[in-house]
Chain A
Amino acid sequence: MSNELIFLLLFLAPVVSSIPIALAYKNKGWTDKLPYLSVFGIFISVVMSIYILVNLDGQYTYSWIPDLGINFVFMIDYLSSYMGVITAVIAFFIAIYGLEYMKGDYRPSWYWFCFNLFTASMLLVVYSDNLFLLFVGWEGLGAASWGLIGHWFRDDDDIAYVGKAGRKVGPLEFSWPPSFGGWRAISTIRFGDVPMFLAIAAIWVFAGTLNISEINWHTLFITLGAAGTIILMVCLLMGLFTKSAQVPFCEWLMTAMTGPTTVSALLHSATMVAAGAFVFLKLTWYIEPWHMHDVPGVEYVFIFVLAIGLLSGFYGALCGTGMRERKVLLASSTMSSIGLMFAAAATSYWIEIEVAGMNLALLVAFWYMAIHAFAKASLFLVAGHLIHGTHSRFLCGDFEFGKRMKTAFAVTLIASSFLVGIPLLTAYWVKSSMDVLYEHLWHHHDMTLPLVLLIVISLLYSAVLAKFLSLNFIKGEKPKHEHLEGGGLMKLGYVLMVAMLFVISCGIILFEEAEHFRHAGGEVMSIGVGLAIFAVFVVAVYKPSISALSRFGSFLSDRMYLPYLNDYILPKIGFFISHILDDYVNPAIDGFFNTKVIPGLFGWTSRRVRSIQSGYLSRYINIVLGLVMIILVIVVILVRGVWQ
């Protein structure tokens, strides 16, 4: 099979396979059957991504608009080959789950088309070496996410909302319908995409190529100088931070929970929010910041990313402890995890440790991303099943309920414990290496705060997921409604998903590049932190909520009132300015040119001229006398002028 065909099938199979259902939107018979075709399209992508992992390597270029540096350039390297498989496999499992979850939905055509477009766009982001092509996939993600988050656009079912209907905090209602969620996502993302577009254009102008692997980053940064480098990278990072919902652009992610749970699962695991962190990894992979200590400005950029990553990690985990909505709690924890990925990748500036020829910091960030993807997708899929089963989006479920939902319970237990960093379980090994990275910063660069923050975040994170487990299956309220029938494909979806954590565990045992993880897992500090995480997990399962802290919990649940920035302060400022222009400035200009001053002058002149033609003799005599007087005055002036 030719390589062109492989790439065509990889990217186009999901999109093409979902076109029939999009076209058959009016025919219920077809829209019931055609989702299987859409899922098959994703399956083709899975096969192609595995083929690429096994058989392809290096750069593949196909011409598009070479004059503008725009070509189809795909880079098959360590990051893209594994991430491609992760993305396709996760999308496939979620799609299987979606076959049952979305049954009977009122817009299957819209859903499947956007879902498959979403998958294809992420695959494009993953494999693209050309920044323009990457941006095409990037924007495809944005457009598809808008369609999916606002999928239940009618806003007629409270179960799709985020926040309690009618609850106000000050003048702002803390309740968001799906149509608003979609709008919030696209507007926030666009806010970051535009500077990113600018950065890509600048790279093309100053570097002469758009291929990430071919850009001479060192020369580029030297050419731009410290200020130029910082501006360029901050513009680029704006796109990544908004897409990955980092502080202060995280609000859209919380209200994105208005979309179907399958969308949330995909959004949080292997696409969209992961895309930002992945692109940062990819860029850092080729920028090689650990070789750039002589370039002014670069260090500030990586300090900035480290700070934002850790701040987001802390904010997300802390807010998560106060959340009462299933999906929003998970969203908050995702934000925290993505923050840790950014921060870990940012430490590469100071870390020169190489494992199997790769930078340790980037390996840690990438493996954590992979573990997080499968674990978080599993948790989201379980959350969707729970929402179906209890008809509530809030945490609820006692032990009796847990026993009736054995599979979901077991999957939640595995996914959460494997993710938080409990000793010997999957994420522990990677997080141990993460501890080593921060320990290195502490010992060699006098940066203590990152290590402290990492430990605090890890503990809070453990508490958040333990709370999710406990309040859904052990210590939660008894659900008011229980609807436990069906769910075969849904269970299959999350069981397959969580099973992948065991596959990754095998990778940690077997792979050469995981050697450092195995070694770091035996370090005293890692064991200590791991045991602390375990202790917090157990305590939080036992006591998932503390009534004495309910007011503080409410503050956290309200995301520390950050929605005010998104929904009140910024829109108020924007619309205030636009209304000032529309109500005062524009009418003033309109009045000058169009309605009052200039037309008035014409009118006045016209009336004056017409008033001459009144027909009264006295009027004409007056005018003639007036003219004579003026002429006389002019003559006198002229004569005096001549005499002098």
Chain B
Amino acid sequence: MMPYILTQTIIVPVIAAIVILLTRRILGKKAGFIAGIALLYTTALLCIVGIRLYQGTVISESYLWGPYVSFGLLADGLSLPIALIINIICTALAFHSLRYIEQRVDILYGEEDEKTKINYYTAYFWLYLLVPAAFMGICFATNLIILYLFIELLIIPFYLLISYFGYIERFRVAVMCFLWGIVSGTFVLFASVLVYSEIGSFEISELDALAGSPIAVWVALLIFIGLFIKMAVFPLHVWMPWVDGEAPTCIAASLTIYANLAAYVIVRVLILPLYDDLKVFSIPIMILALITIIYGALLAMAQTDVKRLCACSTIGQISFSVIGLGALTIWSLEGGLYYFLSHILGKAILFSTAGIVVYVTGIRDMAKMGGLIHKMPITATLWITAATILTGVPLTSGFTGKWILFTGVFAAYPGYVGQAIAILGILATILTAVYTFGAAKRIFFGPLKPELANDTKIRDPPLTMTIPLLILAVISIIIGLYPKPILELFHSVIGLI
């Protein structure tokens, strides 16, 4: 057995980041490959963990960190599938970024000398490596303080990445990302302190001691507020169109993971230990999620900027998971988490494809595009694939996710309110088709604009940008066709409720 296997999934990217930082002049443009290889390695580690878990071995590691807190990591049926899919996406995005960020550095720092440009290029990758490391930390953390720590740590690389490589008003947007992150983290911290004052422990496994106490409701409320900010639930969504829209597209995809990962945190720290105490929140959460789904979709429909469209779509899509969590049935919870995985896969493809379009054409306004499929068939295929995943077309993970989610929601409430929410939630998916396929029509179909037709540079980007996304599409289809392994793993934990 490989030692410290879970710790390695956090430490290896951090070490790789330090190596890149220290040897950036020597590595130059190879830094991206180092990042990619480090993440491939951690993906392999997670696959090993997955196999062992499937054989029935739960893996945990623990280190004493201080008088009150131990640094514990746990890979069980809930955390492992999520960590694995996130790590795969981060790996794909690392390879996808190789050429993308090169162009971004040229655009932003083209007038600087070569040494400075290399500094920025490598900075992207060492900062980027901290993101999957923090994601792994959140997935595997066994106590509230470690969880809070990783949630807060994530904000730093995001802040710097947006500042260095973002688009319009990138400094202001970076600050916005930072501040909203801090605010939401603070709520989680308050809740953690409240928990400690009540039960004398930060351990998630001991949170069930709170069950039935009046404090449990307050803890839940604080965590819900904190995490709903991250999940961009209406009306706390306002940061999302800015931050997701103006971040570099690979980082925007990571930000989607960051936002959606809160669904996992809610299940881990609230629903599993405090299931009965949360029933009071069920209907309000579902209503809030429903409003957010419709609101996000309508916002997306109004966008002409391709990146903003993706960002607004994230608002609505995350709330599908929230509806599942709100319904509080086993299937709805598993469906909510499954849909979260499907969404981040689909959104990583959609955002990155939007990035490719911007990378190739230099245009963000969809009104100025059209007919691009003729010159960029692979890119168009990727967009359409992402649209099918997000819309929930059968054989993709999106469809399977929605199926599990909504059958769970449907069964949750025999009364009219719950069923009406389920019906409206499903009907709202029509809007997803409107903005994803509508955008496909505007970008890729119709006559090719003369200014685009004459531009010989407009063609499919290098394979390093498209193959990682195709791999993500294939994964979405595989888990859509055969969701059983993931569902069994989820069920091994959530089924215990």
Please classify the interface of chain A as helix (H, G, I), strand (E, B), loop, or mixed, using the class held by over half of its residues: helix
Chain B residues whose CB sits within 8 angstroms of the CB of A553 once the complex forms: none
Binds A, one of B5-13, B117-125, B424-432: B424-432
Chain B residues whose CB sits within 8 angstroms of the CB of A214 once the complex forms: none
Q: Tell me whether A195 and B427 are in contact (CB under 8 A).
A: yes
Binds A, one of B39-47, B99-107, B349-357, B387-395: B387-395
Chain A residues whose CB sits within 8 angstroms of the CB of B373 once the complex forms: 153
- What 0/1 pattern do residues 136 to 172 of A give for CB contact below 8 A with B? 1011101100100010011110000000000000000
Q: Tell me whether B447 and A594 are in contact (CB under 8 A).
A: no
Chain A residues whose CB sits within 8 angstroms of the CB of B395 once the complex forms: 136, 140
Q: Per a CB cutoff under 8 Å, which of B235, B374, B433 touches A589?
A: B235
Instruction: List residues of B (427-464) whose CB comes within 8 Å of A's CBs.
Output: 427, 429-430, 433-434, 437-438, 441, 444-448
Decide: A68 near B404, CB < 8 A? Known: A183-B437, A589-B235, A594-B238.
Answer: yes
Cα A205 to Cα B487 in complex, Å, equals: 18
Chain A residues whose CB sits within 8 angstroms of the CB of B445 once the complex forms: 150, 153, 155, 179, 182-183
**Chain B proximity of A445: nearest CB distance (Å):** 33
**Chain B proximity of A594: nearest CB distance (Å):** 5
Q: Tell me whether A202 and B298 are in contact (CB under 8 A).
A: no
Interface assignment of B135: CB less than 8 Å from any CB of chain A:
no
Chain A residues whose CB sits within 8 angstroms of the CB of B176 once the complex forms: 594
**Chain B proximity of A142: nearest CB distance (Å):** 8
Instruction: List residues of A (463-488) whose CB comes within 8 Å of B's CBs.
Output: none
Size range of the chain B interface in the assembly: 35 or more
- What 0/1 pattern do residues 575 to 593 of A give for CB contact below 8 A with B? 1011101110010011001
Binds A, one of B83-91, B157-165, B202-210, B405-413: B405-413
Q: Per a CB cutoff under 8 Å, which of A67, A143, A581, A590 touches B295?
A: A581
Interface assignment of A191: CB less than 8 Å from any CB of chain B:
yes
In the complex, which residue of chain B has the Cβ closest to the Cβ of A184?
B441
- What 0/1 pattern do residues 228 to 241 of B give for CB contact below 8 A with A? 00000001111101
Q: Tell me whether A582 and B302 are in contact (CB under 8 A).
A: yes
In the complex, which residue of chain B has the Cβ closest to the Cβ of A582?
B302
Chain B residues whose CB sits within 8 angstroms of the CB of A143 once the complex forms: 388, 393
**Chain A proximity of B336: nearest CB distance (Å):** 15
Interface assignment of A304: CB less than 8 Å from any CB of chain B:
no
Q: Tell me whether B298 and A578 are in contact (CB under 8 A).
A: yes
Cα A586 to Cα B236 in complex, Å, equals: 11
Interface assignment of A641: CB less than 8 Å from any CB of chain B:
no
Chain A residues whose CB sits within 8 angstroms of the CB of B237 once the complex forms: 589
Chain A residues whose CB sits within 8 angstroms of the CB of B427 once the complex forms: 194-195, 198
Q: Tell me whether B433 and A190 are in contact (CB under 8 A).
A: yes
Cα A388 to Cα B360 in complex, Å, equals: 38
Chain B residues whose CB sits within 8 angstroms of the CB of A186 once the complex forms: 433, 437
Q: Tell me whether A177 and B446 are in contact (CB under 8 A).
A: yes
Q: Tell me whether B447 and A205 are in contact (CB under 8 A).
A: no
Q: Which of the listed residues B303, B377, B445 has the most CB atoms from chain A within 10 Å of its own CB?
A: B445
Cα A163 to Cα B166 in complex, Å, equals: 46
In the complex, which residue of chain B has the Cβ closest to the Cβ of A143?
B393
- What 0/1 pattern do residues 217 to 236 of B give for CB contact below 8 A with A? 00000000000000000011
Interface assignment of B423: CB less than 8 Å from any CB of chain A:
yes
Cα A198 to Cα B169 in complex, Å, equals: 43
Q: Tell me whether B394 and A136 are in contact (CB under 8 A).
A: yes
Q: List 15 A-B contacts (CB under 8 A).
A: A138-B394, A140-B395, A153-B374, A153-B444, A153-B445, A180-B446, A183-B438, A194-B426, A198-B426, A201-B403, A574-B298, A578-B302, A586-B241, A594-B238, A594-B242
List A residues at the B interface (Cβ < 8 Å).
Answer: 25, 65, 67-68, 70, 132, 135-136, 138-140, 142-143, 146, 150, 153-156, 177, 179-180, 182-183, 186-187, 190-191, 194-195, 197-198, 201-202, 204-205, 574-575, 577-579, 581-583, 586, 589-590, 593-594
* Contacts A183-B438, A202-B410, A578-B298 supplied; 10 other A-B pairs, CB < 8 Å: A150-B441, A155-B445, A190-B391, A197-B406, A197-B426, A204-B407, A575-B301, A581-B298, A586-B241, A594-B238
List B residues at the A interface (Cβ < 8 Å).
Answer: 176, 235-239, 241-242, 295, 298-299, 301-303, 371, 373-374, 377, 388, 391-395, 399, 402-404, 406-407, 410-411, 422-423, 426-427, 429-430, 433-434, 437-438, 441, 444-448, 482-484, 487
